[in-house]
Amino acid sequence: MVDKVIPLADHRYASAVPIIPADITAPTGSLHDQFSRPLRDLRISVTDRCNFRCSYCMPKAVFDPHYDFLPHGSLLGFEEITRLARLFIAHGVHKIRLTGGEPLLRKDLDRLVSMLSKLRTPDGHAIDMTLTTNASLLAKKAQALRDAGLQRITVSLDALDDAVFRRMNDVDFPVADVLKGIEAAERAGLGPIKVNMVVKRGSNDHEILPMAARFRHTKVILRFIEYVDVGASNGWRMDEVLPSAEIIERINVAYPLEPLEANDRGETAQRFRYRDGGGEIGVISSVTQAFCRDCNRARLSTEGKLFLCLFATRGHDLRALLRGGANDLEIASAIGLVWQQREDRYSELRSTGSASAQALDSGEPKRIEMHYIGG
C-alpha cells in the first residue's frame, strides 16, 4: 500500500478536522456562537496568490519568487466551494465575499460567480455577493463578472499619487490602471462600488484628503481602514496606526461630515456623509475601536479551512470532510458545532490588555496572514 503524500503547504497553519456530532440535525437558518453572535457573512478566499507586494500584507522580503504558495491540488474546486457555501447559507449566511490574495488571478472565476449566484437562502432570496480586488485585472473582467451574477465590488486603493501608489504596491503598478478598472466596473453596472484605503501613518496619510476629493460627488463609497496587525509578516507597529477618529477630523475640516446609522448589525464601517450632499464615506477602526461584539463573519481559506477570526491561529479543516466522504447533513452539523463553540474576540481582549491576547501577540502559535484569508 502506498502512503498518501500530503503537501507540506497544507500544514502552514494549525488545523483540525471538525467533529461530526452524534446528534446530527438539519440547519435551521439561525446559528449563534457563545456570545449570541449570528452567522451571517462568509468570506471565501479563492487564492493565496497576489500580483502586488504591498508592505502591510505581502512584503517582498517575505513573499519573494521562492515563496511556497499552495499547490493547485490543495485548493478547493468550484464545486466544493459552492457545496460549502450552500451549507453555510442554510445556517443563515446571506452575504458572500470572494477574496484572496487577489481573487481575479483565479482562472475562470466568473464560472464560480455564476454557480454561487444561483444559490438561495431558505426563504428563497438571492444572496448578497461581492468581491474584493486590487483592480489590476478588473478592466478586462468586470463585464464578465457582472454577467455571471456578481452584484458589487470593493477595490483596494491606497493612494492617488502615482509614485506613492507604485511604492506601496511594490511592483510598479500604475494608479491609472486601477482607476480604469473602477470605471469599467461602473460601466458594467457593479455597484455600489466601494474603495478601501489602508492608512499607514508616514506612508500615505497625506493622501487622505486627495482621495476624499477624488471620490466626492461620485457613486463610489470611500472607506479608510486603520493599518492592522494581521499575521506576522508586515512588521506592524502601533505608531504607524492613524486612528480613524483623526482621519475623520482631517476630512471634516475640509469637507464637513455628519454621522449615519449602520446599515446592519455587524457592519465593520462607521458611516458618514458630506453635509453638502457629496456622498458617503466610512472608517473601519480595526485597531482603536474593536467591533468583536457584533462580528458575524466566518472565513474560508482557499484550501478549505474554516477560521472564526481574522486573528485566528487555528482552522477547522472542512476539506477533509468534503474529500473524506461526509454527506451534506454531516458537514452542516460539524459547521454548526464549530460556530456554536466560537468564543473569538481578539481585538476586544487586546484593548483590555488581556493575557490571552498577549499570548497570541507572542507569535506562537502562528497567526494567519492577510493574503491567505483575505480581509
Q: What is the 3-state secondary structure (H, E, C) of 179-214?
A: HHHHHHHHHHCCCCEEEEEEEECCCCHHHHHHHHHH
**Greatest alpha-carbon span in the chain:** 73
> What's the grid cell of residue 69?
504558495
Examine the pLDDT at 345 and tell me if it is beyond 90.
no
| Model confidence, pTM | 0.90
Work out the pLDDT band at 352, boundaries 50, 70, 90: low
In the block, cell 454527506 appears at 327
Number of residues that this document lists for the chain: 375
Examine the pLDDT at 362 and tell me if it is beyond 60.
no
The most confident of 117-121, 224-228, 233-237, by mean pLDDT: 117-121
Q: Which of 9-23, 31-45, 209-223, 355-369 has the lowest mean pLDDT?
A: 355-369
Q: Which of 62-71, 243-252, 327-336 has the lowest mean pLDDT?
A: 62-71
CA distance 35 to 292: 10
Supply the mean pLDDT for the chain.
Answer: 89
pLDDT score for 71: 93
Sign of the CA dihedral with 284 first, then 94, 97, and 333 last:
positive
Residue range 67-117, pLDDT digits in tens: 999 999 999 999 999 999 999 999 999 999 999 999 999 999 999 999 999
Work out the pLDDT band at 9, boundaries 50, 70, 90: very low
The residues spanned by each domain of the chain are: 8-12+33-373
CA contacts within 13 A on the Cβ side of 174: 4
DSSP for 39-70, written as a single string: --EEEEE--S--S---TTTS-TTTS-TT--PP
> What's the grid cell of residue 234?
508586515
Work out the pLDDT band at 254, boundaries 50, 70, 90: very high
The DSSP symbol for 310 reads T
Comparison of pLDDT for 231 and 133, the residue scoring more:
133
Q: Answer whether CATH 3.20.20.70 is correct for domain 8-12+33-373.
A: yes
Average pLDDT, stretch 327-350?
87
The DSSP symbol for 356 reads H
R_g over Cα of the chain: 20
pLDDT score for 167: 96
Examine the pLDDT at 6 and tell me if it is beyond 50.
no
CA distance 327 to 330: 5
97: phi then psi, degrees, rounded to nearest 5: -115, 125
Comparison of pLDDT for 357 and 291, the residue scoring more:
291
Examine the pLDDT at 5 and tell me if it is beyond 50.
no
β pairing state of 280-284 and 270-274: antiparallel
Work out the pLDDT band at 365, boundaries 50, 70, 90: low
CA distance 125 to 225: 31
